[in-house]
Chains A and B, each alone.
Chain A
Amino acid sequence: MHETYIRIENITFTIALLLYLLAMVLYFITIVAKKSLAKPARYAVWLGFFLHTAAIVVRGIGAGRAPLSNQYEFATAFAWGIALFFLLFERKYRFDAMGAFVTPLLFLIMGYASMLSREVRELMPALQSGWLVIHVSMAIIGYGAFAVACGVSLMFLAKSYSQRARDAGLPELEQLDRVSYRAVQFGYLFLTLTIITGAIWAQYAWGRYWAWDPKETWSLVTWIIYTIYLHVRRKNRLTDTGAAWYAVIGFVCVIFTYIGVNTLLPSLHSYV
Chain B
Amino acid sequence: MKRGIRAIASMRFAIAILLLLGIGSAIGTLLPQNEAAAFYLQQYGNTWGTIIYQTGISHVFTTVWFAILAVLLCISLLFCVIFRAGRILQGIQAQGFKAYLALFGSWLLHAGILLTIFFFVLGNATAFEDTVRNVPGTVTKVEGTHLSVAVDDFTMDVRDDGTVDHYTTAARILDDSGVRAEGNIQVNHPLTVDGYQFSQNATGYAVTAYIDKDDEPIGHAPLFLGEYVTADEDGIVLTLLNIYPDYIETAEGPATRSLEMNRPYVLYRVYYNGQDLGVRLQAVHQPVHVGAYRFLFTDPAMSTVLAVRKDAWAKWTGFGAGLLFLGTVLVFFAPQNAQKETEAEE
User: Complex formed: what's the CA distance from A185 to B327 in Å?
Assistant: 12
Whether B307 is near chain A, meaning CB under 8 Å from some CB there, is yes
The reply to whether A122 and B163 form a contact with Cβ atoms under 8 Å apart is yes
Contacts of B343 in A (CB 8 A): 234
A189-B328, A196-B325 given; A218·B18 CB < 8 A? no
Q: Which residue of B lies closest to A222 (CB)?
A: B22
Range class of the B interface residue count: 35 or more
Per-residue interface assignment for chain B, residues 305 to 335, with 1 indicating a CB less than 8 Å from any chain A CB and 0 otherwise:
0011101001001100100110011001100
Q: Which applies to chain A's interface (DSSP): helix, strand, loop or mixed?
A: helix
Give B302 Cβ to nearest chain A Cβ, in Å: 15
Residue of A nearest to B164 (CB): A125
Q: A220-B25, A224-B19, A265-B29 are in contact. Are A124 and B197 (CB under 8 A)?
A: no
For chain A residues 225-249, which have a beta carbon within 8 Å of chain B? Answer: 225, 227-228, 231-232, 234-235
Q: Convert A135-172 into 0s and 1s, putting 1 for each residue whose CB lies closer than 8 angstroms to a CB of B.
A: 00000000000000000000000000000000000000
Neighbouring A residues of B30 by C-beta, 8 Å? 265
Instruction: Write the nearest CB–CB distance from A160 to chain B, whole angstroms.
Output: 21
Interchain nearest-CB distance for B163 vs A (Å): 6
Q: Contacts of B186 on A, CB cut-off 8 Å?
A: 125
Contact B15 A218, beta carbon cutoff 8 Å: no
Chain A residues, CB < 8 A from B309: 207-208
Q: Check A228 against B18 for contact (C-beta < 8 Å).
A: yes
- Contact B22 A235, beta carbon cutoff 8 Å: no
> Does A192 sit at the interface, judged by CB under 8 A?
yes
Query: Given A122-B165, A235-B11, does the pair A227, B188 have CB atoms closer than 8 Å?
Result: no
Is there a chain B Cβ closer than 8 Å to A205's Cβ?
yes
Given contacts A122-B159, A192-B324, A261-B29, 18 further A-B pairs with CB under 8 A are: A125-B186, A125-B188, A126-B187, A131-B188, A189-B325, A196-B321, A200-B318, A204-B189, A204-B190, A206-B307, A207-B308, A208-B307, A217-B29, A224-B19, A228-B15, A231-B11, A234-B11, A235-B11
